[in-house]
Amino acid sequence: MSAAPMLPDNTAEAPGTRAPLVLGGNDFASVTDKVCSIVERPRLPRAWYVAFTISCSLTALLVAMLGYLFLAGIGVWGLNIPVGWGFDITNFVFWVGIGHAGTLISAILFLFRQKWRTGINRFAEAMTIFAVICAGMFPAIHTGRPWFDYWLFPYPNQMSVWPNFRSPLLWDVFAVSTYFTVSLLFWFTGMVPDLATLRDRATTKGRRIVYGILSLGWRGSGRHWHRYERIYLLLAALATPLVLSVHSVVSFDFAVAQLPGWHSTIFPPYFVAGAIFSGFAMVITLLVPVRAFFGLEDLITTRHLENMAKITLATGLMVAYSYGVEFFMAWYSGNPLEQFALANRAMGPYAWAFWIMMSCNVAAPQAFWFKKVRTTPWALVGVSVLINVGMWFERFVIIVTSLHRGALPSSWGYYKPTWVELCTLAGSFGLFMTLFLLFLRFGPMIAMAEVKSVMPAAGLERGPHRGHGQYWGEIPHQHDRQKQDATP
């Protein structure tokens, strides 16, 4: 496994120049071979099999914990009278946040024509789908009787039971399901040209059938590229407001309550910034090992990693600012209950969780101010892991510390997670990693058509919308062929 050349990174320091997004002298054919060979090779690196075995074991643990929960009830969790939400909703908010970076990288950066997204957007989109799957599991099971969850759906029934449409818990159902549906369509639409490439290169009948069905009859004609470009743009425009709305709606679970520590108007932007912050950290955590084990340093360059580190730093500063605003508004409001709730976070029984949160979310990202850290892959992973730990503890601190001590000291309690909750949390990571590893094995992990569009040779292959169009791959656009036909 050879290291990525360092010469292009040095050119990025010269004024007016940027490091190329594809290194190693690759052309269109070599990019296709490099990405497709991962799917086509008979055996992957040993690290993949080790990781897959561990993730499948954790997924089996998750299934066992869910079965035990359904048989015994939520009494096996550590919930009590003042703390009615614990690991269940903490994990839900955490996983929904993880899914935000995928849509941000794919949709928003696409609309802003940021070409550096092309090498990493497929990873991030896949991560979004799998994280939302993990997130959707927890609201379903936290009701205690998930086989009655159909009562929550608004449909005519003989029981005259209708959901409360003024409840943010119902808003969550619509927001998260819409986000998942649009993200799934966006992810799949972007893969269609690459799935067709895998179909055409398939050497077995089974692969040809599966990839042929998934590629929807793609032929790479000018008409197909034209339709693809339009629907991709529309889905990106549709997904962009969802990045802001979904986690804002999740924050309403707390912000619309009267509980001190939750009732805050800063929660929607604060939660959105935190979601992007944790999502980018997770992308870096997954991307760097995959990049190393599969030898993708030429396609996922130091420039990609550094740009992600910069966005992570920017959103981390927003999160740190939100922490400061929370404490300032508690003091400025003059409300003793609000002041007590915030002071209890920092100096109460859960002070250890609060200071882990502050250390990981405020102190650790400051390392990204240094170019040496931003351009050192495994240093990026170390900081990103700390950020993900801190963001999980942020959700824990917001939920649990606001509940365990109310206005009446006689109602105070202490929440301690049980082994069932800890195993369920570990199992959710196992489910996420199992889905992600299967995608790496059978799907195009890098968007080949989009990577080719940012290569110097792509200027010869793109249509009249050059500079602001989508991706034509190796086939001239329909308008180009008409112009060539009209040329004497």
pLDDT of res. 168: 84
Q: How far is residue 20 CA from its own chain's centroid?
A: 26
- Between the CA of residue 98 and those of 159, 178, 464, what are the distances in Å? 38, 16, 38
**Token output for 242:** 């969802």
- Asked if the structure places residue 344 within a domain, the reply is yes
Q: Which residues of 143-173 are buried (b: 16+ CB within 10 A; e: fewer)?
A: eeeeeeeeebeeeeeeeeeeeeeeebeebbb
- Asked if the structure places residue 35 within a domain, the reply is no
- Asked if the structure places residue 1 within a domain, the reply is no
- Asked if the structure places residue 466 within a domain, the reply is yes
| Residue 236 structural domain | 44-145+162-486
Q: Which residues of 104-132 are buried (b: 16+ CB within 10 A; e: fewer)?
A: bbbbbbbeeeeebbbbbbbbbbbbbbbbb
Per-residue pLDDT of the chain (488 residues; tens, 9 = 90+): 444 444 444 444 555 567 778 877 778 888 888 888 888 888 888 888 999 999 999 999 999 999 999 999 899 999 988 998 999 999 999 999 998 878 878 888 888 888 888 888 888 889 999 999 999 899 888 888 888 888 877 777 777 778 878 888 888 888 889 999 999 999 999 999 999 999 998 888 988 999 999 999 898 888 999 999 999 999 999 888 888 888 899 999 899 988 888 988 899 999 999 999 999 999 999 999 998 888 888 888 888 899 999 999 999 999 999 999 999 998 998 889 899 999 999 998 999 999 999 999 999 999 999 999 999 998 999 999 999 999 999 999 999 999 998 888 888 889 999 999 999 999 999 999 999 999 999 989 888 888 888 887 665 444 333 333 333 334 433 333 333 334 33
- Asked if the structure places residue 33 within a domain, the reply is no
pLDDT of res. 10: 44
Model confidence, pTM: 0.86
Q: For residue 364, what is the DSSP state?
A: G
Return the closest-CA partner of residue 23 out of 373, 456, 447.
456
Q: At a CB cut-off of 8 Å and minimum separation 6, what does 61 contact?
A: 423, 426, 427, 430
Q: At a CB cut-off of 8 Å and minimum separation 6, what does 99 contact?
A: 127, 128, 129, 131, 132, 135, 179, 183, 275, 279
Which CATH number characterizes residue 410's domain? 1.20.1630.10
- Asked if the structure places residue 294 within a domain, the reply is yes
DSSP class per residue in 125-170: HHHHHHHHHHHHHHHHHTTS-GGGGGGGS----TT-----TT-HHH
pLDDT of res. 117: 87
Beta carbons of 129 and 180 less than 8 angstroms apart: yes
DSSP class per residue in 192-244: HHHHHHHHHH--SHHHHHHHHHHTTT----HHHHHHHHHHHHHHHHHHHHHHH
* Number of domains comprising the chain: 1
**Token output for 261:** 């520590």
